[in-house]
Chain A
Amino acid sequence: MKDLIFTEIFKLFKQGKTYYALAAIFIIEIIILFSAYSQGQSVLDLLLDNLQQSFHFEGNLLNGNLLSYLILNTLWFHLPLILIVIVSGTLTSEYKDRTLLSVMLQPVSKWKFILCKYIVAILFTLLIVFFLALTTFILSYTFFGSGDLIVYLDNLNFYESSDAFYRITWAFIIGAISMVFFSVVSLTLAIILEEATKTWIAGAFFLIVSNLLLKVNFGNYFLDNWLYFKLNDTWQYLFYFNIPWHQIYMNLALLILYILITMFIGVFIFNKKDISL
């Protein structure tokens, strides 16, 4: 099992797509930093328009924490999309190149093989989120410095610099669990669909539907609180003035349950599947 995991890690870092993903994340960060630099102040002015009538402002809100928060928002779409492409590619490329058949001809258990794929996909996802967080903090604080964070979430919330860093760090950690779910789903889709393009389309569709359904109010407690789509924004809870930790723990427990169920379904389907020429 350990050897299989190492083999999968080796394959992952041997393929060019992995590095394209890292480069894509870095480029997205640069674009966000650049656009925030050029338009950030006007957005802040718009947000603080009402307060400007009654207050003068002392201090700079266009700082590293705001930039980190903006980059954090790539967890909504950009990052899961990149992960869907890369993670599903680890299996679809094996179908395409028929290396899967070669592996299966070896004395390797099918369920162990695919479980290792899942484990490596999870490790890779955590690594990517860590890379995103690290580069975000380095770039944001280097070019914009620290300062108070302003977030519009129900209300206009201001957080002191140290508090903002704490919240953003935890948001990355909790967001990583959401990203793991998308990775696990994309690998499961790859098991079912086998072909890369179909898997990417299905994965992107799943991501879009997830984001759309997040905003739909079903008027049912179970659907509004327990359905996966409604858990996708758990990392945003860190930006409520009073952090609802109890709700966060609950959502994370459900997310992990969804991840395990999806993995189980994937392993089961792959185990039942014939690998043909």
Chain B
Amino acid sequence: MIQYIILFYLSSICLLGAQNIDSNILSIQKRMDTIETFMANVELKVDISFVNIPKKQARIEYVQNKDTKVFSEDFVLIPKNGLDVSLHQLFKNPFITVDRGTEIRQNKTYKVANIIPSSKKADFSIATVLIDINLNRIIEYEISTKKDGIYIVKMNYDESASILPSNIEVVFEIERIRIPLKYMGKDAHIDKKTYKSETPKTGTIFLNFKYTKITYNTF
């Protein structure tokens, strides 16, 4: 009996170690890895209940395996997550995947899977991705970061063959300003309930990309 138990235990370990990565995710990863560099002009629109900021323009430069650089003449709020249109953050560390079935959005069926990093270096603990298996791309992912909370990134594409999204919607958690630095005046009235609220609010940032240059690996 003990022999059977040991045999079962060892075989379980072996099976876990050899866990397959979802073929669709591997295919998307391979497709994204073909992008070597890109440059784009981005329009950023921030929607946070307690922040008023006009639409901003910026220029971004992406080089594979490097941090995306953002340039702007104005002051811009750059989301810590969401500008990563190449999905580098998801795939840069070793990971395993878990199939979560399918989900219907706007009469279209998408595959749902979890990406779980197997390395401690990863800056997120789990991501849930919605995959368009026909067009071989991710249309939405929810990522639970270790430091910056949970983000939902929704991606829309111009054409069915596009690898990179034309616009992105990033939904994130954000706490209300707790220290109302006042310059005196009309804001003397403070809604105590709002300021004392511990409940995090959500904010959204909309990014519209106009790609000016995309280069691909030739391997």
Q: Which residues of A pack against B, CB within 8 Å?
A: 43, 46-47, 49-51, 53-61, 69-70, 73, 76, 147-148, 150-161, 163, 211, 214-215, 217, 233, 236-237, 241
Contact = CB atoms under 8 A, between A and B. Distances in A.
A54 B114 CA distance: 23
Interface stretch (B3-11, B126-134, B185-193): B185-193
28 contacts: A46-B179, A47-B177, A50-B178, A53-B175, A54-B203, A55-B80, A57-B75, A58-B71, A58-B75, A58-B76, A59-B73, A59-B76, A61-B75, A69-B183, A73-B183, A73-B184, A76-B184, A76-B185, A152-B177, A152-B183, A152-B187, A156-B52, A157-B53, A158-B51, A158-B54, A158-B75, A214-B185, A233-B185
Contact of A153 (B51, B54, B174, B187): B187
B148 A53 contact: yes
B62 interface: no
B78 A56 contact: yes
Interface in B156-191: 172-189
B72 A152 contact: no
B58 to A, nearest CB: 7
A236 B185 contact: yes
Contacts of B54: 158-160, 163
B144 to A, nearest CB: 14
A58 B79 contact: no
User: Per DSSP, are chain B's interface residues mostly helix, strand or loop, or mixed?
Assistant: loop
B2 to A, nearest CB: 52
Given A58-B76, A150-B75, A157-B52, 11 more contacts: A47-B181, A50-B175, A50-B176, A58-B72, A152-B182, A153-B186, A156-B52, A158-B54, A158-B75, A215-B188, A237-B186
B85 to A, nearest CB: 16
Contact of A54 (B75, B79, B186, B189): B79
Contacts of A53: 148-149, 174-175
Contacts of A157: 51-53
B168 to A, nearest CB: 14
Contact of A55 (B49, B71, B77, B178): B77
Contacts of B177: 47, 49-50, 152, 156
A58 B58 contact: yes
Interface string B92-118: 000000000000000000000000000
A154 B71 CA distance: 30
A49 B189 CA distance: 22
A160 B80 CA distance: 22
Quick one: which of A55, A69, A152, A237 has the most chain B CB within 10 A? A55
Nearest to B149: A53
B208 to A, nearest CB: 17
B198 interface: no
B77 A57 contact: yes
B183 A153 contact: yes
Nearest to B82: A54
A69 B187 CA distance: 16
Contact of B172 (A54, A76, A215): A54
B80 A156 contact: no
A129 B164 CA distance: 54
A42 B23 CA distance: 49
A58 B42 CA distance: 14
Given A73-B184, A76-B184, A241-B52, A56 B80 contact: yes
A28 B174 CA distance: 38
A236 B187 CA distance: 10
